[in-house]
């Protein structure tokens, strides 16, 4: 039942500024820990081995914190609060909604806002490209920020969600194929792929089930492999199937245009603010289905 209440708390409270303006958010502390490892160990030779060593240390620390918290008096309460803090449904909705609201004032405000949630080049984005980027971010982060943390909490309790979040944070910071991080971040990137394998496919299934849309699941099964990520294509393809639009596709990174294929290519390629609003509806319906399933599991 801890996960049920954690999902509710996150959806109601989100990320209260009055709290996190006074003390560091756990995700910020995780980022600092990963940054320290990057500065301390990502030098010289044997960087793959050093990256494995650093990641193992971070996982060990996360596990220890989770076990200690569970052993404290009222351990169930700390576990519930910890999970609520590390889930991201409400904050995801707020960030995606901000793009839709900004886009209604024109492409320039939309570009500025979407740049806060995507890593691609945004300076020359058209309105459909801005909307597509926001919807893709919504789908991918529904998996990474909500379903996957909930899955690992359900599987391993507070240590499970802490392990997942530290690996996911490490992947976002050092899991890039750049000259600096290709070797040191290899372990973080590969382990993040492993930890997200089941949740990504589960997210696609939940999206389809929440909307009574078996075609969305079929699209995900047929086309998710076309995505550059082994996992992100699943929730994106399911989202595309529910909304009737094409996602993924061409975009620019570091000034270079990449001709990535679309998922659900037969869908509309001109999404706008209303489609972002519809994607937010998908986020909430999928969350509601997951909440109901968690409650049923807690009962039976």
Model confidence at 125, pLDDT cuts 50, 70, 90, reads confident
The packing angle between helices 127-142 and 233-243, to 10°, is 120
Q: Which of 138-152, 174-188, 246-260 has the highest mean pLDDT?
A: 138-152
Q: What pLDDT band is residue 170 in, cutting at 50, 70 and 90?
A: very high
In tens, the pLDDT along 280-297 reads: 999 999 999 999 999 999
What average pLDDT does the segment 95-116 reach?
A: 90
Report residue 249's pLDDT band, with 50, 70 and 90 as the boundaries: confident
Q: Which whole number is the average pLDDT over 256-271?
A: 89
Q: What is the pLDDT, as a whole number, of residue 123?
A: 83
HEC string of 81-137? HHHHHHCCHHHHHHHHHHHHHHHCCCHHHHHHHHCCCCCCCCCCCCHHHHHHHHHHH
Mean predicted confidence (pLDDT) in 118-130: 85
- Rounded to whole angstroms, the Cα distance separating 162 from 66 reads 7
pLDDT confidence of residue 259:
79
Q: Which residues contact 17 (CB under 8 A, 6 or more apart)?
A: none
* Among 78-82, 87-91, 254-258, the least confident range: 254-258
Q: How confident is the model at residue 273 (pLDDT cuts 50, 70, 90)?
A: very high
pTM of the model as a whole? 0.95
Name the residue range of residue 114's domain.
Answer: 2-299
Mean pLDDT of 92-116: 91
Domain count, the chain: 1
Q: How confident is the model at residue 256 (pLDDT cuts 50, 70, 90)?
A: confident
> What is the per-residue pLDDT for 31?
97
The pLDDT confidence band at residue 211, using thresholds 50, 70 and 90, is: very high
CB 192, CB 175: distance < 8 Å = yes
Placement of tokens 């519930």 in the chain: 80
Select the more confidently predicted residue: 115 or 37: 37
Band (pLDDT 50/70/90 cuts) for residue 23 is very high
Token pair of 289, please?
Answer: 């289905």
The CA angle 3-291-84, to the nearest 5 degrees, is 35
Q: What percent of the chain has pLDDT over 70?
A: 100
Question: What is the DSSP secondary structure assignment for residue 16, as one 8-state letter?
Answer: -
pLDDT tens-digit map of 49-87: 999 999 999 999 999 999 999 999 998 999 999 999 999
Q: What is the pLDDT of residue 25?
A: 95
pLDDT-wise least confident of 112-116, 232-236, 251-255: 251-255
Q: Which residue has the higher pLDDT, 16 or 255?
A: 16
Q: What is the pLDDT of residue 252?
A: 78
- Structure token digits, residue 41: 């160990």
CB 140 within 8 A of CB 238: no
The C-alpha angle with vertex 232 and arms to 133 and 178, in degrees rounded to 5, equals 80
pLDDT at 228: 83
């Amino acid at each position: 039942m801890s996960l049920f209440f954690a999902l509710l708390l996150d959806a109601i409270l989100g990320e209260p500024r009055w709290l996190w303006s006074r003390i560091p958010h756990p995700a910020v502390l995780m980022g600092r820990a990963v940054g320290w490892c990057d500065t301390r160990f990502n030098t010289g030779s044997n960087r793959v081995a050093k990256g494995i060593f650093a990641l193992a240390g971070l996982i060990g620390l996360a596990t220890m914190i989770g076990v200690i918290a569970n052993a404290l008096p009222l351990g169930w309460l700390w576990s519930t609060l910890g999970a609520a803090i590390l889930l991201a449904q409400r904050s995801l909705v707020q960030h995606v909604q901000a793009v839709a609201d900004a886009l209604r004032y024109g492409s320039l405000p939309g570009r500025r806002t979407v740049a806060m949630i995507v890593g691609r080049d945004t300076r020359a984005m058209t309105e459909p490209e801005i909307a597509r980027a926001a919807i893709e971010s919504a789908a991918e982060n529904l998996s990474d920020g909500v379903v996957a943390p909930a899955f690992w909490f359900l599987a391993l309790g507070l240590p499970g969600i802490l392990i997942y979040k530290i690996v996911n944070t490490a992947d976002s910071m050092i899991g890039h194929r750049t000259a600096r991080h290709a070797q040191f971040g290899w372990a973080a990137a590969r382990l993040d792929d492993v930890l997200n394998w089941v949740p990504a496919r589960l997210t696609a299934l939940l999206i389809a089930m929440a909307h009574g849309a078996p075609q969305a699941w079929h699209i995900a099964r047929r086309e998710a492999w076309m995505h550059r990520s082994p996992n992100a294509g699943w929730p994106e393809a399911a989202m595309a199937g529910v909304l009737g639009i094409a996602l993924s596709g061409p975009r620019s990174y570091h000034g270079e245009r990449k001709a990535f294929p679309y998922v659900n290519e037969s869908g509309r390629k001109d999404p706008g603010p209303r489609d972002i609003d519809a994607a937010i509806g998908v986020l909430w319906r999928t969350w509601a289905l997951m909440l109901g399933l968690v409650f049923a599991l807690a009962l039976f």
